[in-house]
Structure 1
Amino acid sequence: MAKTWFITGTSSGFGRILTERLLARGDRVAATLRRPEALDDLREAYGDLLWTARLDVTDPAAVRQVVAAAFDALGGIDVVVNNAGYGLFAAVEEASDEQIRQVLDTNLVGSIAVIRAALPHLRAQGHGRILQVSSAGGQTTYPNFGFYHASKWGIEGFCETIAREIAPFGIGLTIVEPGATPTGFGAGLATAPAMPEYDATPAGDTRRAIAGGSFRLDNDPARIVEEMIASADSAEAPLRLPLGRDTYEDVRASLVARLESHDAQREVALSVVRAADPA
């Protein structure tokens, strides 16, 4: 059965590929982006299956207006995909205040705004699925991506919390965690002037790896999109969908290290527990 989707950030990368695949199989797509003309070719090919709107997710009022308009125009939406994102590549001291605000407003606050705007409509129709695009960087970390990680760890914590809140309404939520993938996202990373003090640190090593082409991009964007669609089509919504060998291996290593560190503090943790009052 054909579905109706609402997708942010559809001008390129996963959002564009996802829109193309869904239209090709006969689904309807409400595609939002900053430049709607970027999808003119798809509108010409698929006609009324594609609904577009200009949207900057950092504008909460616009988010509410566009989401409501999409539900009204299409008579309901089955899947909401939070895909719009902003990448910032800089050591902690290098980024400007404006860049930090942009990455948090887009990836964290903007994603929250889209979900909050969609929830009343999803509750009213009694069903729906939310796919929140995060990354391996929502569970593990790499030097020079500190502010990007702050946004992705934040949205994952938010989504993990609300998944339990919205389940009783028949709404499922899945956090999608792609690994490093050649989608053009890397080319669009915002950067800042490099400080020489960080050259001989892990931040400098990562900068050189990316500049020299040794930062591997092993994952297939088309196959990642296929797995996203398959997940939305399935009856059950897994809380997380790790996609890529780097996601699986890096996140697993991070989780194991965190658990080991956590367990090493067991005695300290329990030492602050108040003794039971005497009977």
Structure 2
Amino acid sequence: MTQRTWLITGVNSGLGRQMTEQLLARGDRVAGTVRQMDAMSELKARYGDLLWLAHLDVTDTPAIHRVVNKAFSELGTIDVVVNNAGYGLFGAAEELTDKQISHQLDTNLIGSIQMVRAALPHLRAQRSGRIIQVSTVGGQIAYPGGSLYHASKWGIEGFFEALMQEVAPFGIEATIVEPGGARTEFAFSSAKLGPKIEAYADTPAGMVRRMVEEGSRVPPGDPAKMAAAMIASVAQSPAPKRIVLGSDAYTMIHKALTDRLAALEAQKDLAFSTDLPGVEPGRPVVPIR
């Protein structure tokens, strides 16, 4: 088996921790970023130089560049960069504070974008590399009470759709991972809530809030199996554009895409009717407005 070197954000818990444990056990090197260094002491003692660690808050863009540059400098080639760090913010859009909105986007969207931007000069110099973006089923569907979380994930998926095409000439590939519910810290303790507005109590957004508060929904996903699937995807060539993990994710995304396609088909005549005369129908152009 080829030994690879991985740079993974948020390795102290969740899917990042699962990936790190599996990769180290098979002999790969992991450069992991954490916010709590002591959470990795046991793994560091067991694997030594196979585990390179750095403290990083992904909302700190200068720190991202320092850590990424240091990782490439000290480890040489890095084969896979995994954007895993993130969290969920829930509550109706009106309930969220300005500070919460900024922090959610700075973490899930801007932090992921800046990690990629910091790594790209090194990956281009290598003429190779794989980037994995951990998104969510919530990058394809949306529920009330998750507006800002969905905004961050739909946003990063759009970024990666374009990025994949930009970096392909340099031998760099990318994959978006869309897990459903998994039994990790994300599902049980890391979600954040906005201040409650009573007017939303009996609305769909209020129902989602209660589910988060009560922790009543037990996710079906096995994080160890999900991590294994993400690791295995790196051996696929060409890289899969998306990987859906979990029966819940597949079911919800399938329904959302089916419904969206049906709605699009119903508007075909209207769409074509708004072209200028003489324009070749369906000819792709860059939308500028």
Identity of aligned residues (%): 53
Question: Do residues 128 (structure 1) and 105 (structure 2) align?
Answer: no
The alpha carbon displacement at 1:214 in A equals 4.5
Counterpart amino acid of 2:265? Answer: D
* Structure 1: gaps (5+ residues): none
The alpha carbon displacement at 1:50 in A equals 0.6
Determine the structure 2 residue equivalent to 1:176.
177
The within-5 A match list for 1:4-23 is 4-23=5-24
Q: Is the 8 A contact 1:86 1:102 kept in 2?
A: no
Counterpart amino acid of 1:217? Answer: P
Question: Do residues 260 (structure 1) and 267 (structure 2) align?
Answer: no
The alpha carbon displacement at 1:246 in A equals 1.1
The alpha carbon displacement at 1:235 in A equals 2.8
Counterpart amino acid of 1:66? Answer: V
Q: Is the 8 A contact 1:32 1:54 kept in 2?
A: yes
Counterpart amino acid of 2:11? Answer: T
Helix, strand or coil: the match of 1:185?
helix
Counterpart amino acid of 1:147? Answer: L
Post-superposition CA distance 1:248-267 (Å, at most 9, x none): 11011111111111122222
Question: Do residues 89 (structure 1) and 90 (structure 2) align?
Answer: yes
Q: How far, CA to CA, are the matches of 1:212 and 1:43 in structure 2?
A: 35
Q: How far, CA to CA, are the matches of 1:99 and 1:212 in structure 2?
A: 21
TM-score after normalising by structure 1:
0.96
Helix, strand or coil: the match of 1:71?
helix
Determine the structure 1 residue equivalent to 2:282.
none
Counterpart amino acid of 2:14? Answer: G
Q: How far, CA to CA, are the matches of 1:113 and 1:211 in structure 2?
A: 32
Determine the structure 2 residue equivalent to 1:220.
222
Question: Do residues 233 (structure 1) and 235 (structure 2) align?
Answer: yes
The within-5 A match list for 1:19-98 is 19-98=20-99
Q: How far, CA to CA, are the matches of 1:258 and 1:272 in structure 2?
A: 21
What count of residue pairs does the alignment treat as equivalent? Answer: 277
> More deviation in 32-41 or 247-256?
32-41
TM-score after normalising by structure 2:
0.93
Post-superposition CA distance 1:126-150 (Å, at most 9, x none): 1110000000000011121110000
Q: How far, CA to CA, are the matches of 2:225 and 2:87 in structure 1?
A: 22
Q: How far, CA to CA, are the matches of 1:179 and 1:124 in structure 2?
A: 35
Determine the structure 1 residue equivalent to 2:284.
none
Q: How far, CA to CA, are the matches of 1:86 and 1:178 in structure 2?
A: 13
Post-superposition CA distance 1:227-264 (Å, at most 9, x none): 00000122321000000111111011111111111122
Q: Is the 8 A contact 1:143 1:203 kept in 2?
A: yes
The alpha carbon displacement at 1:275 in A equals 1.3
The within-5 A match list for 1:157-168 is 157-168=158-169
